[in-house]
Chain A
Amino acid sequence: MLPLYLLTSAKNQPILVELKNGETLNGELVNCDSWMNLTLNNVVQVSENGTNFLKLPECYVRGNHIKYMRLPEELMDYAKEQTLLNLEQRNRNQKRRTGGNFNNNRRNYNNQGNRNGGHNYRRNNNNNNK
C-alpha cells in the first residue's frame, strides 16, 4: 500500500504530525494532496520542548516540513478493506462493459491488418508509379 493512499483514507480522523523542527500538531485531517500538504482542523500545536501549547481552529502544513505522522491503528484494516472493495467494483464494471467475457474486441477486428509499422505511404507511391 502506498503511504499517500493510506493518508487520504485518514481524512476526518484525528492524526498527530511531527514537523522537522520538532513541533507537533494534533488535529483532525481535513485534506491532503500528493505532496503531503495537509489541512487540519481543531489543532493543538505543541512546541519542540513540550512546554508551549497553542490551540488553532485550522491550519495548513506544507508536506515538505513533515517528519512523520501518527495515524489511528485501525486505519490500516479500513484502508485495506477499501482497496478490496474498489477492486471488486472495478472488476464488476469491466464485466458489464464487455458483456461478461474479457474481450474488448467486439467487432472481431484482428488488429493485424497493417504489419508495416505504419510506413505504408511508400508502398502506395510505388503503386501510383505503375
Chain B
Amino acid sequence: MAMSSISTFIDKRVRVITTDARLFEGILEGYDNSTNIILKSCIERIINTSDHEHNQTIELGLYILRGGNVVCIGEIDETEFQKIDWNKLKGEALKGTKNPL
C-alpha cells in the first residue's frame, strides 16, 4: 500500500519538496488519500548557491499543502540534522517538476 508508509511519519518532523522546487519542514499532523498534508510549525528553507547571499529560514506556522504539489516527504533524523549549519550550507537550486516546452 502506497499510503501505509506515510503513516509512520505522523507526529514526526518531516521535510517536504514541492513541485515548485521549494523546501518545507514541519511536523506532519495529518494526511489524506490524495496526499494533502498538514504541517505544524512549518518553516521554509531557502538555500543559496553563492557565498554572498544568506540562507533564509522563514517561519510559516500551520500549513495545509495540497497533494498535487507534493513531490516527496521524508522523515528528519534530528541528531544528524543538528550537526548541519544551515546558514553556511550552499547548494544548487532544485529544478521544478514542470518542464515548459
Contact = CB atoms under 8 A, between A and B. Distances in A.
B64 A71 contact: yes
Contacts of A123: none
Given A2-B30, A3-B31, A76 B37 contact: no
Interface of A: 1-7, 20, 22, 36, 63-64, 66-73, 75-76
Nearest to A1: B30
27 contacts: A3-B31, A3-B36, A3-B64, A4-B32, A4-B36, A5-B30, A6-B29, A6-B30, A7-B64, A22-B20, A36-B66, A63-B66, A64-B68, A66-B66, A67-B18, A67-B20, A67-B69, A68-B18, A68-B66, A70-B61, A71-B61, A71-B63, A72-B61, A73-B41, A73-B62, A76-B38, A76-B40
Interface size of B as a range:
20 to 34
Contacts of B3: none
